[in-house]
Every structure is written in structure tokens, then in C-alpha cells.
Amino acid sequence: MNSSLQKYLKAFSRLKQGVTQYGPAPHKPILLLSLIELIEKGLVINNQFEVNADLVATFKENWLLLVSTLHQPDFTQPFYYLQSEKTEGQPYWMLQPNLGMQINAHIKSVTRLSETCAFGYFDPQLFLLLSDANNRSVATAVLLDNYFAEGKAGFIAAKKHGDGYLHDQEDFVLNEPEAKYKRISINTEEDVFVRNGLFKKLVPKIYGNQCSFTGMQLSSTFGHSFIDACHIVPFSQTHDDQVTNGIALCPNLHRAFDRGLVSISADYSILVSDHVIEKETHAYTLKGLAGRKILLPNKRIHFPGAEAVEWHRENVFKY
């Protein structure tokens, strides 16, 4: 076995775990399994692990699959305290704060952590080693064997089948029929964070990363979409993060929609407020959109909900 890999595997097998009334805290090995899984899925290719829905949901899913004790699935603490783990006297996990921010152990909110931390990253040598599929398999096995031996077989089977927390949350946000027959609850701030992140990712996706009003499609080779996921009824009012309460809009139309300058009719035509003042000779005017049908997703279950667009017309749109 690669001697460089061996030293990291040794460190993985000797993690410092907090001692609690429920036994050793499982948070750090769950986080390491989740970080490795993101590499496996191709979601992290540049050694920058952002605090986003993918990572938090993977952590929560792995926790539910492996942890049977009454420990609380707090994501923020292992994300911070993994920095204390070392190999040959050097940490192999570090955090990069956003400009002007400082990361500390007192950050208990995943939302606050995402605002403060730009990303976490492995020692470059470790990340290079984990870029190899065989090394990932070995590292995963070491973590499972050392900390979750009893749940290993069930964990592997669940991952192969594709079921679990993340799948259930995606089905719910996408309004998929099977989600109606599952009891999917929001119990923690992490659950809200995950659904909000999935909403922002999945709404543009079902519209083909196009603005539903103009058809504009804009992305980058870095994988970023410049199309916004816009709530029809504000999240603060209903806490509804399903795609039926969403629409894909370019940023200027997102602002116009939120301010009631544009809306959607019952037959999915674009409405433009009489209060709009613009240079009408310009090639791209809001009034030029009036009466056009919006672009809709391929599946009817993903269409904007009739009640949501009616609410927007009655409560936000400026006739």
C-alpha cells in the first residue's frame, strides 16, 4: 500500500472523539465519509468543500444510516474541529474563511457557517490520494470498520440502492408522487438549509437553466448557472420549497417579479404592470414580453402551482 496513504489511514483510525453519555461522538468519521463521498460523486474536483446542500445532506444521510445512539447530528462542530486532527504533526483538514470573516467553534448555525466559511479543504497530498477510486474505497472501509462495523453492510446496501435522506428530500422538493407517501419532516435548521439549497439547484435545472420569461440561457464552464430560482410565494410566508412554488428567472426579471412589475396569468402568460417605465425603443423591454407564454418544465408536476401564481397576482402584482 502507498506509504503516504497509510499515514492518513492511520490518522483516520485514531480520530479524537468527544466522550459523551452515549459513547464516543461519531461526528468526525461521519464527516470524513461524507467528504469522500462528494469526491466519489464528482461534486468536488478542486479540493474546495463548500458548506452547501450537497455536503450537509450527505452528512445527514450518512448519520441516519450509521448512527444508532442519541447523539445529535450537529454538522458545524466536526466541520470545525476536524482541523485538530493531524498526521506527522500537521493538520490534514483546514478552513478558508470568507474575506473579513473569522471562523470559530461558537458558530452553531449551518447557515451562519456557510456565510462565514468559503470552503474547507484537505491537505493537497491527501486530496490527490483521494482522487483515486481505489484509495477512496480503502479509506471508506477503514472508517466504517473502525467506527461503524455493525452498520457497514446496511450502509453499503443503502448507498447502492440510492435511497436515503438526500433522495427523499429531492423527491419532496421536486413534488414527485412517491414523496406523498413518505413522512418527510423538517426537524432542524439543517433540514431547512438542505431543502433551500436543493430548491436553488433544482428549479433552474427543470427549466433547462433558462429564464422562463425570456428563454435566456447562461452558465459557465465552472458549472455555475446565472439563472435564479425564484419563490412565487415568499418562503418566509409558507416555508414552501417545492418546485411548484418556484420559477426560473434571470436576475433582472427576478427583481421585477418580486416587486410586482411582472406576474403570470392562469394560462401561464406573462403579465406586465402598467406602472413599468422604460425606454420602449430598446430591443429588450418588459412590455414586449406581455402576453407571451412562459417556458414550462417538461413534467406537469413541476409546473408553477395555480394557487401560488394566483397568490402572486392578488398580493404582489401591481395592476
pLDDT in tens, 22-71: 888 999 999 999 999 999 999 999 999 999 999 999 999 999 999 988 88
Give residue-wise pLDDT tens across range 24-35: 899 999 999 999
Give the residue-averaged pLDDT of 193-197. 93
Ranges of each domain in the chain: 3-163, 207-315
316/262 Cα distance (integer angstroms): 9
Give residue-wise pLDDT tens across range 283-302: 677 888 899 999 999 999 99
* Contact (Cβ atoms closer than 8 angstroms) between residue 85 and residue 94: no
Given the DSSP bridges, would you call strands 117-122 and 228-231 parallel, antiparallel or unpaired?
unpaired
126/37 Cα distance (integer angstroms): 14
So what's the pLDDT on residue 180? 56
Which candidate, 78, 83, 110, places its Cα nearest to that of 95?
Answer: 83
Q: In which band, very low, low, confident or very high, does the pLDDT at 1 lie, cut at 50, 70 and 90?
A: low
Give residue for cell 497509510: 6
C-alpha cell at 260: 410586482
Q: What is the DSSP letter of 149?
A: G
The continuous run of DSSP H or E covering 125 comes out as helix 124-130
So what's the pLDDT on residue 202? 95
Q: Report the SS3 class of residue 210.
A: strand
The pLDDT of residue 277 is above 80: no
* Contact (Cβ atoms closer than 8 angstroms) between residue 135 and residue 5: yes
Q: Report the SS3 class of residue 19.
A: strand
Least confident of 3-12, 138-147, 182-191, 196-205: 182-191
The pLDDT of residue 179 is above 70: no
Find the radius of gyration of the CA atoms of the chain.
Answer: 23
